[in-house]
Copies of this chain bind each other. A is one copy, B any other.
Amino acid sequence: MQLSRKAEYALHALMYVTSVSGHHHASISEIARNAKIPREYLAKVLKGLTNAGYLISVRGVNGGYRLAKAKEKISFLDILEATQGPFVISRCPDKNRCPDYQFWDEITKYLKKMLGDMNLGKIDYEKFARKNKK
């Protein structure tokens, strides 16, 4: 039940972009360095998040990435689903086949609620900002 590496990278990339928003657009090298994500892998993650409508790539001298919508409008559930598809815990599709269906269904509902309520606007970025370098 671990988060996929891709999902963790997407979350950390978006949190970094959010933490510098209002200040500057985040370059890919800067995100890689500060969010500790291998640069090549990060390029794919950022492309996926751009295509999914969560990031905008701005060209030019002061270019870089910025959020495509308000930080409060991007939930953790949105981010996980953008990177790994619909959120599921168990593969069992049918309560008549799996004796543990109800248990996982309850956990899935709880997690979807928690992840849907959590968003990029609820993070305390101040604490981390001092360590970030452009």
Contacts and interface: CB of A to CB of B under 8 A. Distances in A.
B80 A1 contact: yes
A127 B99 CA distance: 8
A39 to B, nearest CB: 18
Interface residues of A, number: 36
Contacts of A87: 1
Contacts of A3: 1, 89-91, 104
Copy count, this protein chain: 2
Interface string A6-17: 011001100100
A119 to B, nearest CB: 11
B99 A8 contact: no
A124 B7 CA distance: 35
